[in-house]
Amino acid sequence: MRWLSLGLALAVLMGTVLVPSLGAAAATCQSGGDYDIDCTWPDSTACDGANSTPRSKTLPTGGILELRYDSGCRSIWGRTPSSLNEEVFVVRDSCSAGNTAGLTNQVNTPHRWSRQLNDKNCTGHATVFIGGVGYQTTSY
């Protein structure tokens, strides 16, 4: 059991985690205050900030997984090339709202986006699964 935990920790640090299915990771949206941004689409929300890509990971398919950030809403979302045809999502790693995934993707060629999550006073990362293997950005 100790070796399994060590192996999983190493896989997470390397950005590659074997996961059989994403089905168990349902979207959980907070409400009220700063969390009203949760599970909204980044292109349909009026945020006055600049969008940036603070973290990214090159995928074995040649595409790039991006953790996107909007400084106005202080929100994060995941983005991949739409040609990848795999669901991308974001997870809050630390904050009072807990671990939350923004699922259900939208395709706006040339990208596929996740829904966004509030990132104020939190850290988070983007993840995509390709053939049962999870790839994630580092946290921001």
Distance, in Å, from the CA atom of 23 to the CA atom of 106, rounded to the nearest integer, reads 18
Q: Give residue-wise pLDDT tens across range 55-112.
A: 999 999 989 999 999 999 899 999 999 998 888 988 888 876 666 566 668 888 899 9
CA distance linking residue 93 with residue 105, whole number of Å: 20
* Residue 43 pLDDT grade (very low, low, confident, very high; cuts 50, 70, 90): confident
Residue 13, classed as helix, strand or coil, is: helix
Rounded distance, CA 40 to CA 77, Å?
A: 10
Domain ranges in the chain?
Answer: 19-136
Q: Which of 120, 65, 64 lies closest to 89 in space, CA to CA?
A: 65
Give the pLDDT of residue 126.
95
Residue 101 exposure: Cα atoms within 13 Å on the Cβ side: 16
Q: Where does the pLDDT of residue 23 fall: very low under 50, low under 70, confident under 90, or very high at 90 and above?
A: very low
Chain mean pLDDT for the chain: 78
